[in-house]
Amino acid sequence: AEAVGQRPADIMKKLMESGQMLTLNQSMNLELAGLIAEELGVKVEVTAPKAGEELLEEAALWKGEEKPEPRPPVVTIMGHVDHGKTSLLDAIRQTKVAEQEAGGITQHIGAYSIELHGKRITFLDTPGHEAFTAMRARGAKVTDIVILVVAADDGVMPQTIEAINHATAANVPIIVAINKIDKPEANVERVKHALAEHNLISEAWGGQTIMVEVSAKKRQNLDLLLEMVLLQADVLELRADPRKPAKGTVIEARLDRGRGPVATVLVQEGTLKVGDAYVVGTYSGRVRALIPAAGGKLTEAGPSMAVGVVGLTGVPSAGDTFLVVKDERMAREIAESRAQKQRAAELAGPAKVSLDDLYARIKQGDIKELALVIKADVQGSSEALAVAIDKLPSEVVKLRVIHNGVGGITETDVLLAAASGAIVIGFNVRPEPKAAALAESERVDIRLYSVIYDAIADIKAAMEGLLEPTF
């Protein structure tokens, strides 16, 4: 905006018109910047990568041919505790990895790939929506498909509903695995009925959701489940260009006694090779070795593959972007510029959505929709709140309840809010101590009420710019 002498709001309007929803502190690539500038009657010429980190990072990427190829899906398993997430992950891993020539002792790196009919699927093996949403809160989108495990003898439980809400908030399609069908108490129909109440309607009933009846214990219908994952992946048309320099996300990272810092990187674009210069978080260096989950060593890893990367100069955080650049000097410069930016951001204070600055940000064109996470002491209150919110006028900003649950405000609620740019409304409940600390560090606005009218009045006032600031 500065360079072309326009107001940021006008640039954002142009972006929106072209279907790009970017906020003030998100970056655009050179191509998009060029297009928008052209619409404003300005011709853009890229000369030297000096104008800031975005330009630097963009210039650091080698220009690859834009010919994306199909890539394997990346799957996360979610569901209520004890419904069989770990058993299913283990069963799939054991039956399928045994069929491949196991390269050695299998490594637990936080993800593994299997092959079915010559097609690959990558599983992230930290199940649950907590890990999923924690990644999202850090801006990383890694999961293409969620397998929701529901035990046929237990049915839809609170964490099943949380998982549905978290996956839906992230816009990730769900495949349901109705597990434990070997048990005599299994009642598949009851599960389907309960899921339908949460908008997951089985294809057999004319709905859109794929449901597969499985037994992780008896290894029943596992291939069928995997085939459905591949089918869903085809529909999603997942693509990446393996010829580009690699870009990926850190799934987990640890300090290994022999190898030093090791990060599991999910490659999302391009091909990661031994010897590549990289930047991850505020660290930079060269890739020394790549360790796959199947054991042994690799010289390169393509799209949707997860590998342990050796040769790091520090332990990055899960959710950090891993970027391959031209050379080590460039990598160092980007890492330093990021460290500076990080320090600046820490000084800058609140950036996430809050009721206090809602009006200002609506006016800036920064916010079109306000997402809400509601927690209440009883089901009746949380529903009454959701209904009352639904009745509020929506011309200025659209209100959307992304999760509505009973009980204290948990860390997971805060992460969901952070990942979705939402605020948390608590009704007759308090945040758990850890959740309060997390809200502080993630800068999530938590509002506590004991009268429904007060909550509604505050939201309404915030939308109209009439909210009295609280300190």
Is the CB of 181 or the CB of 422 nearer to ligand GDP? 181
Q: How far is the CB of 89 from ligand GDP (least distance, A)?
A: 8
- Residues in the interface with ligand GDP (CB under 6 A) total 16
183 binds ligand GDP (CB under 6 A): yes
Q: How far is the CB of 334 from ligand GDP (least distance, A)?
A: 39
| Pick from 181, 258, 248, 270: nearest CA to 220 | 181
| Pick from 191, 140, 203, 148: nearest CA to 173 | 148
Is the CB of 151 or the CB of 238 nearer to ligand GDP? 151
Helix then strand then coil, in percent of the chain rounded to 5, is 35, 25, 40
Question: Can you state the angle between helices 328-348 and 53-60, rounded to 10 degrees?
Answer: 150
**Amino acid symbol at 125:** D
79 binds ligand GDP (CB under 6 A): yes
Contact status, residue 249 vs residue 320, Cβ threshold 8 Å: yes
129 binds ligand GDP (CB under 6 A): no
Stretch of 44-52, 68-76, 81-89, 98-106 lying at the interface with ligand GDP (CB under 6 A):
81-89
Q: Is 81 annotated as a binding residue?
A: yes
- The first and second tokens of residue 75, run together, are 């799957």
82 binds ligand GDP (CB under 6 A): yes
Is the CB of 181 or the CB of 402 nearer to ligand GDP? 181
Which listed residue (148, 216, 323, 335) binds ligand GDP by CB under 6 A? 216
- The first and second tokens of residue 177, run together, are 């695995």
Burial class (CB in 10 A: 0-12, 13-18, 19+), 20: middle
377 binds ligand GDP (CB under 6 A): no
86 binds ligand GDP (CB under 6 A): yes
Stretch of 14-22, 39-47, 77-85, 161-169 lying at the interface with ligand GDP (CB under 6 A):
77-85
Q: Is 445 annotated as a binding residue?
A: no
Q: Is the dihedral of CA 202, 204, 210, 214 positive or negative?
A: positive
Q: Is 80 annotated as a binding residue?
A: yes
Q: Residue 387: how many CB atoms within 10 A of its CB?
A: 11
Which listed residue (85, 138, 375, 447) binds ligand GDP by CB under 6 A? 85
Stretch of 99-107, 211-219, 263-271, 319-327 lying at the interface with ligand GDP (CB under 6 A):
211-219
| Pick from 145, 143, 154: nearest CA to 176 | 145
Q: Is 181 annotated as a binding residue?
A: yes
Q: Is 264 helix (H, G, I), strand (E, B) or coil?
A: strand
187 binds ligand GDP (CB under 6 A): no
Q: Is 126 annotated as a binding residue?
A: yes
Residue 270 Cα distances to 162, 226, 468, angstroms: 34, 25, 50
Residue 158 zone, left/alpha/beta (φ > 0; ψ -120 to 50; rest): alpha
138 binds ligand GDP (CB under 6 A): no
- Binding positions for ligand GDP, rule: CB under 6 A: 79, 81-87, 127, 179-180, 182-183, 215-217
